[in-house]
Structure 1
Amino acid sequence: MTTAPSLASGQRSLADPQVRYPLFPPLTRGCPRTSTETVSYPVEVDYDYARVPADFLTARPTGAGLDRWAALLPPLAAPGLGEGGTPLVDLGGGVYVKDESRNPTWSHKDRLNRCTVSAALATGAPGVVVASSGNHGASAAAYAARAGLRCVVLTSSDVPPAAASFLDAYGAVVLPVPVEERWPLTERIVAEFGLFPVSNLTPFHTGSSFGPEGYKTVAYEIAADLGVPAAVFVPTGYGELLFGIGKGFAELHRLGLTDRVPRLFSCEPATGGPLATAVRERLPVARVEVGATDAYGIDCPVSGYRGVVALRGSGGRPLLLDDRRLRAAQAELASAGLWVELSAAAGLAGLRALDEPLDGPVVCVSTSSGFKDRGVGSHAPAPADPAWDAVRTRLRAAGLKG
């Protein structure tokens, strides 16, 4: 089967949609005309929506994963790894989990990196560079390797063992450096080596215009499998996933393929919560002091304007969650057979903490595998006494009857 051609037509500022740019080169530092020294406004990819086929949601797929939705994605110059097409797991009671751990590198970041590495390949860059605490780096390294590009990952010395194993396997150049050094070094690497940045370069998060487009496919898949839910709960760091899901549903509504959009709920650690701060103070972006949390994947000191756009456009709101709620949601998912990273449990934690009723099914996005948590894989269980009396005692202590 062949992939449908992209209908991407250009880039435009999220601050002022009248400010437009050609599709190439993909902008990586936000909008140069509307951003200021204190506010970074991203740009998004625009499309020729008049040419989108009426059976976009229902047609027999013309490709697997992201390729199925290629018409409403930037040109997919990079080869895929089968990303997307993840299952909706029914927890009962109208609650579904969109399990992004089923992606090739076990996280939602694969959807983004198919698009960002495509941008790098299309612009002739020799490789990509990324500042990442785990998932993003592992994914970027995989897609760069698939495309025949080099990958440099600026990370921390306590990167989760699973992520470190991914990076080693894909041949990435791994530089564990202090957090405050990652972004200045990314700038130098881009300037001196010509690598394409697939992570942020601005004081408030903007990132590549191509990347969040990949996340729209989460919305397309939910709509195709379930219809439009009442709400979607999204683990939120910088807000790119939140924005992509919101834009995907908004596009389907704009095209007349659905009759509404779901409410979006951003789910952030209570020890930080820059998006919640921006919404509360009616600001486009915010910076906060970050306290201690084990949800390292969404523990961000700054927000991005994309998150504000997503919540405003869906009638949703931000939620703040402490580690106790996150661990309870992680345990609930494990009891249903889904082992997720603590950050990935934020979607379900947000639903369980919600103080208002919802009319209809809801979807909680789970972003990554439990293997991606820090400390996982660094310990082994103590040997057990194989004598039957000892085994039987242990089983009975665990509540088994026999």
Structure 2
Amino acid sequence: MNGPSLALRQRSLGDPSTEFPLFPPLTRGCPKTSTDEIAYPLDVVYDYGRVDQGLFEQEPGADIARWSPLLPPLAAPTLGEGGTPLVEFDGVYVKDESQNPTWSHKDRLNRVTVSAAIASGAPGVVVASSGNHGASAAAYAARAGLPAIVLSSAQSPPAVQDFVRAYGAKVFSVPTEARWPLLREVVDRLGYHPVSNQTVTHTGHPFGPEGYKTIAYELFLQLGTVPAAVFSPTGYAELLYGIWKGFTELRTLGLAGSVPRMFSCEAAAGGPHARALATGAPAAIVTVGASDAHGIAGGVGGHRGVLAVRDSGGEAVVVTDDEMRLARQDLALRGMWQELSGAAGLAGYRRLGRSFDGPVVCVATSAGFKDVGVGAEPHPVLANPTLDDLMS
């Protein structure tokens, strides 16, 4: 059922009447609507009138190319991303994105952004990331035969740095504040394609959230309906926005009569989207406190998350590390080991403490081995084990 991309052009989320050709991807936000304080992301527009609705009669499965008419052109080979399980858990459903090829949701994004690098003729890709994004970008670049540079913060988990290096990427641990100036220099001087953010408030790659739309398509088929609510771990909100956009497309195509209420679940140590929504700002930057949820504990927000939460009638929820730890523990005891950030969706649902008239989905984003400190502590060895020891 997959066919050629029906993507037409880019448009500004600051002013949807401001449009640009599909290529080149505008990786530094909208040049016409952005200001020194707020950068507006670009969105991708499609020819929805040409979409064959039989596209949604297929079974969800690996390789997001099955949704290619509703994605930008896919030039990068697949690693089998997508088709992740939906697991019932204590009255809600958990979409387990740790089952992707590099064990995180980022694989959906990087299949699309590395494709953009290939289509643009770039000699390589560059990303500023301390975890999932860097590993995924490195993997998809390796699969496509492109070199990758990953600029990691000095505080990123050593196991994750080894993970990224395994794909042959050049990994450099640098001070956090140095990552983005270096990334821009790599882009400007070497011509590498950036697959992460370069702007004052988050815009990221304009094609990136398109990969996340496929989660909405899968949920629609797996549930047989539109969920009443989706709770998503939220850092830059590309995931949140992509899922919301996917459901809005299903409504546009006449396949769904509604969209779910979207709930951003941020670390209480930061919470820029919660701040923006509370103050009516298009995006916000906040001071970040200490948190072990390194995947989402950021101070820079973007306009995508504000749009998704506001226009869906959702809310911003902030969760503590302890709330995420409890959610992570409970998920693990039911067979789903998540990193701390990955449990923020379930933690947010529990914190809100509200019932919904329909299915609720909590997105779980990444495998637990990526957490800070995992594997650092040795476990005791039983010198003369007995059955009583095993039963204690």
**What TM-score comes out, normalization by structure 2 length?**
0.97
Q: Which amino acid aligns with 1:42?
A: P
Does the residue aligned with 2:227 lie in a helix, a strand or coil?
coil
Q: How does 1:344-359 map to 2 (within 5 A)?
A: 344-359=342-357
Is 154-163 or 35-44 further displaced after alignment?
154-163
Contact 2:153 2:179 in 1 (8 A): no
Aligned-pair distance for 1:395?
Answer: 3.4
1:12-51 aligned at under 5 Å gives the runs 12-51=11-50
Q: Match for residue 184 of structure 2?
A: 187
| Cα distance in 1 for residues equivalent to 2:136 and 2:191 | 20
Taking only the aligned residue pairs, the percentage that are identical comes to: 61
2:219 corresponds to which residue?
A: 222
Structure 2 distance, partners of 1:179, 1:218, is 31
Q: In structure 1, the residue corresponding to 2:328 is in which secondary structure?
A: helix
Aligned to 1:365, what secondary structure does the other structure show?
strand
Whether 1:340 and 2:338 are equivalent positions in the alignment is yes
Contact kept? 1:161, 1:377, Cα under 8 Å = no
1:244-255 alignment, distance < 5 Å? 244-255=242-253
2:145 corresponds to which letter in structure 1? G
Asked whether 1:203 is paired with 2:200, we answer: yes
Q: Secondary structure at the match of 2:308?
A: helix
Aligned partner of 2:166 in structure 1 is 169
**Superposition RMSD on alpha carbons, in Å?**
1.3
**1:153 is matched with which residue: 140, 147, 150?**
150
Distance in 2 (CA, whole Å) between partners of 1:144 and 1:377 is 27
Contact 1:246 1:313 in 2 (8 A): no
**Contact map agreement 2:339 2:371 (CA 8 A) in 1:** yes
Deviation at 1:369, TM superposition (A): 0.1
Residues 230, 358 of structure 1: 8 Å contact kept: yes
The separation in 1 between residues aligned to 2:359 and 2:383, in whole angstroms, is 47
8 Å Cα contact 1:264/1:314 also seen in 2: yes
Provide the secondary structure at the position in 2 that maps to 1:55: helix
Cα distance in 1 between the residues matched to 2:159 and 2:135:
9
Cα drift, residue 161 of structure 1: 3.6
The answer as to 2:381 corresponding to 1:383 is yes
CA distance in 1, matches of 2:262, 2:159: 30
Mapped to 1, the partners of 2:269 and 2:28 lie a distance apart of 28
Are the aligned partners of 2:277 and 2:310 in contact in 1 as well (CA < 8 Å)? no
Q: CA deviation at 1:60?
A: 5.9
The Cα shift of 1:360 comes to 1.6
Contact 1:161/1:376, CA 8 A, preserved across alignment: no
Deviation at 1:258, TM superposition (A): 0.9
Query: Do structure 1's residue 114 and structure 2's residue 111 form an aligned pair?
Result: yes
Aligned length in residues: 391
- The equivalent residue for 2:258 is 260
Deviations 1:366-392 (A, max 9, x none): 00000111111223311113332xx41
Provide closer, same or farther for how the CA distance between residues 19 and 327 of structure 1 changes in structure 2, counting only shifts above 3 A: same
Residue aligned with 2:53, SS: coil
1:223 partner amino acid = F
Can you list the C-alpha shifts for 1:341-372, whole angstroms capped at 9, x where unaligned?
00000000011111332112111000000011
User: Hey, what's the Cα distance between the residues in 2 that align with 1:217 and 1:108?
Assistant: 11
Alignment pair present for 1:142 and 2:120: no
Matched AA of 1:237: G
Give the deviation of 1:156 after TM superposition: 2.1
Supply the distance in 2 between the matched residues of 1:230 and 1:237 (Cα, whole angstroms). 22
Deviation >3 Å, runs of 4+: none
Which whole-Å CA distance do the structure 1 matches of 2:262 and 2:216 have between them? 11
The answer to whether the Cα contact below 8 Å between 2:39 and 2:200 also exists between their aligned partners in 1 is yes
Counterpart residue identity of residue 173, structure 2 = P
Distance 1:14 1:372 in 2: 33
TM-score (norm 1): 0.95
Partner of 1:364: 362
Q: Contact (CA 8 Å) 1:278, 1:284: kept in 2 or not?
A: yes
Distance in 1 (CA, whole Å) between partners of 2:377 and 2:321 is 22
Question: What letter matches 2:98 in structure 1?
Answer: S
